[in-house]
Amino acid sequence: SRVKEVEFVKSSGRARDCPKDNKPEFAILGRSNVGKSSLINALVRKKEVALTSKKPGKTQLINHFLVNKSWYIVDLPGYGFAKASETARMDWSSFTKGYFMNRDTLVAVLLLIDASVPPQKIDLDCANWLGRNNIPMTFVFTKCDKMKVSKGKRPDENIREFQQLIRQNYKVHPSWIMTSSVTGLGRDELLLHMSQLRNY
């Protein structure tokens, strides 16, 4: 499960514009500021890679990164901008849903969830939507290195609450991994997990 080589392939505006070479892929999804770019950078250990997707105009696109010439990491637009208009949010959902429903090579969605804050409705909604549509997912909890903020709960407590809320209306239990882009926690576990899913 080593990452030897990473190459930015393309940005696509629609699912049908995505690469057509049938390589397996993992889509990385989460609220803006969840730590998506940091996690992608930590995974591939290259600062410049995920930064590409932060360039103006590229944030609303599906960005494909080819790893070891054999599988893709796909950076999807973040959701839940507090200031986004209703129209912008609708655009996000139809655009991203189009990708999920039409991408046969999708192995699993890595749903990033910030473990330093209590469960957020938008993340629960997203997990439930993916679950209802039978899209395989793994919960990747980010920022697990963060100590509790004043009055807040610890990452492990937030994670337990999130899992409990998911179990209330969702029958299967997705795999989950605790990560930190600061300490490197979970990096190897996540890479191993992805290699197991690819070979499944």
Stretch that binds ligand GDP, among 7-15, 118-126, 137-145, 151-159 (CB under 6 A): 137-145
Contacts 24+ apart (CB under 8 A), 124-133: 124/162, 124/165, 124/166, 126/29, 126/79, 127/166, 127/170, 127/174, 128/166, 128/169, 128/170, 129/97, 130/100, 131/170, 131/171, 131/172, 131/174, 133/100, 133/101
- Determine the Cα–Cα distance for residues 44 and 62; give it in Å rounded to an integer: 18
Is residue 32 part of the contact set for ligand GDP (CB under 6 A)?
Answer: yes
Is residue 101 part of the contact set for ligand GDP (CB under 6 A)?
Answer: no
Min. distance of Cβ 42 from ligand GDP in angstroms? 8
Residue nearest to ligand GDP (CB): 35
Residue 32 or 175: the one with the smaller Cβ distance to ligand GDP is 32
User: Of 43, 49, 62, 143, which lies in the binding site for ligand GDP, with binding defined by CB under 6 A?
Assistant: 143
Instruction: Please report the sign of the dihedral spanned by the C-alpha atoms of residue 109, residue 13, residue 52, residue 46.
Output: positive
Stretch that binds ligand GDP, among 31-39, 86-94, 152-160, 166-174 (CB under 6 A): 31-39
Q: Which helix (H) or strand (E) holds 51?
A: helix 47-51
User: Of 90, 101, 182, 192, which lies in the binding site for ligand GDP, with binding defined by CB under 6 A?
Assistant: 182
Min. distance of Cβ 22 from ligand GDP in angstroms? 28
Min. distance of Cβ 200 from ligand GDP in angstroms? 28
Sheet holding 106-114, edge to edge: 6-12, 62-67, 71-75, 25-30, 106-114, 137-142, 175-178
Stretch that binds ligand GDP, among 8-16, 93-101, 151-159, 180-188 (CB under 6 A): 180-188
Q: Across-strand partners of 63?
A: 11, 75
Stretch that binds ligand GDP, among 19-27, 103-111, 121-129, 138-146 (CB under 6 A): 138-146
Footprint on this chain of ligand GDP (rule: CB under 6 A): 30, 32-38, 78, 142-143, 145-146, 180-182
